[in-house]
Amino acid sequence: MSRLLAGRSITRHDEENNESEDDNELIATSAHRHHDKRFDQDENQDLENEGFGQGDEQVNVMAKIMKEKSFWIGIVAVIGLIGLSVLLGLVAYQLWTKPEIIPDFNENGGRKLNRTVIMVSIDGFRPDYLEMFQQECGNLSEIISNGVKAASMTPIFPSKTFPNHYTLVTGLYAESHGIISNTFWDPNFKAKFSLGSPESFKSRWWLGEPIWVTAEKQGKVSASFFWPGSDVEIQGMYPTYYKRYDGRIDYETRVKTVFEWLDSDKPPQMILTYFSSVDTVGHNLGPIYTEELRKSVRQVNDAVGLILEGLKQRNLTENVDLIIVSDHGMSLTPKSKIVRLTDILKRNVLDGVEILNMNAGPYLDMYIKNKTNIAPLYNELVESISNSTEYSNAVEGVYTKLNMPENFHFTNSERIPDLILLARPEFSILRNAASQLNTKGNHGYNNESPEMGSLFIAQGRHFKKGFNSPNRVRNLDVYSLICKLLEITPAPNNGTADNFTPYLSNNL
């Protein structure tokens, strides 16, 4: 059963708020009353008519008073004009140099956000669950009606949880980003990577550049409420907001926290979160209709509904790009379809010293200390399998780095095992007679097999409406797609956003 990192819940330290507030504009007005010369003349005439100007002396005094009055009126007028000119100049300067203020609200009355992407992973959700559990998928169906859907999404090889989650956010094959399985060996470190182990939190395992690092480098705020690698320091960085994995935290709390981040003074533009229950039930009971799987699908559909409702309440449905994905599909693994390595070779070669083994089930791997032993063991395996119908029906291929299928892109890393026995879907390759199959469903098979197909649906500002494609997409291209949606430059990667062009609206 694939599980994400386990540990305590933490958040990154708060950073200084840089939110700009609208400046209040000062509107200055001035009024200037002009003295009317006729008013002064009429006033003087009235004085004379009422007997207040008798004789020449009175006339001369009156003329002197009027002359001094006119002088002071002129002085006041000049000062007023100078003050008005200075004031108008200051207002003009302020208007000319004032930066453009982006409105706080969008056209629908909601808070205006910069380009924002929310990506949700539903671990192990097969695309055909949408039909198998149609009554439980109302919110997922609403996204499809308002947005886009691919027939399926092809994961990378191996079709395991950690490699594919990290591919979704780096655009790299496993051989390039370094997380080649949920559990693997590094011969240079002489150490084992496994889920939740102290090693898994060390930066040295995580290669490439995940989307949160790309975003933060280019001035965007990123957030992750559970995503493989987001709680590890990569290139000296974490998302602005993140949580260390704790499966006990319910989905409602995860969604609530995402919207608290969005409502903060420093809202993230790139948000990741993760739901695991569908994968858990798929492992336990298989990818078939059961009451337990029905309840799990309804649970994640309800969590998606909380996201849709949160966007509606904030009038952000048309402004935020919402992407729902899964990391891989799921295959039935009945106990009637088991082969064991000890039966194929007639002996046990996995001694833990000369040959290390990290994985069994959909594929069995071997790290061989003495490299000269690779070819003889490979030939022995091929001969035994080809001479047995039972083994030939169960094993799709025996691979070394020399004959690995090109489409797997699983060669150029020292972490890749020296030998891999890959089972056909539904079959399991176990180590020995003591090995037991404890699950009814599993993944890790050929990534192009239909059973391993994953989910891709999306809605939002930059996606078409009601576009249901009959074609597959690749999870390898999702990283570049998110970069395109956020208008940031992607780091070098193996994917391209061009493959999503049919799904995008013309306003991108």
Catalytic residues: 161
What is the Cα–Cα distance from 462 to 147, expressed in whole angstroms? 9
Q: How far from chain centre, in Å, is Cα 494?
A: 18
Region of residue 55 (phi > 0: left; psi between -120 and 50: alpha; otherwise: beta)? left
Which residues, listed in sequence order, are joined to residue 243 by a DSSP beta bridge?
225
Per-residue tokens: 498: 């061009």
* Strand, helix or coil for residue 241: strand
Residues 357 and 185 sit within 8 Å (Cβ to Cβ): no
> Residue 133 is inside which H or E element, if any?
none
The residue type found at 280 is T
- Strands 184-186, 191-193: pairing is antiparallel
**CA-wise closest residue to 169 among 322, 327, 1:** 327
Per-residue tokens: 405: 């299928």
What is the Cα–Cα distance from 85 to 30, expressed in whole angstroms? 11
By residue count, the chain amounts to 508
Which residues, listed in sequence order, are joined to residue 273 by a DSSP beta bridge?
120, 225
Q: Which backbone phi and psi does 249 adopt, to 5 degrees?
A: -75, 120
* Strand, helix or coil for residue 339: strand
- Strands 148-149, 456-459: pairing is antiparallel
- Strands 472-474, 441-442: pairing is unpaired
The residue type found at 414 is E
**CA-wise closest residue to 323 among 134, 473, 207, 159:** 473
Q: Which backbone phi and psi does 420 adopt, to 5 degrees?
A: -135, 130
Cα–Cα distances in angstroms (integers) from residue 15 to residues 9, 18, 219, 240, in the given order:
19, 9, 13, 8
Q: State the number of CA atoms in the 13 A half-sphere of 356 facing the CB.
A: 18
> Residue 23 is inside which H or E element, if any?
none
* Strand, helix or coil for residue 71: helix
Residues 469 and 148 sit within 8 Å (Cβ to Cβ): yes
Residue with tokens 């890790």: 444
The alpha carbon torsion through 216, 193, 333, 157 (nearest 10 deg) reads: 50
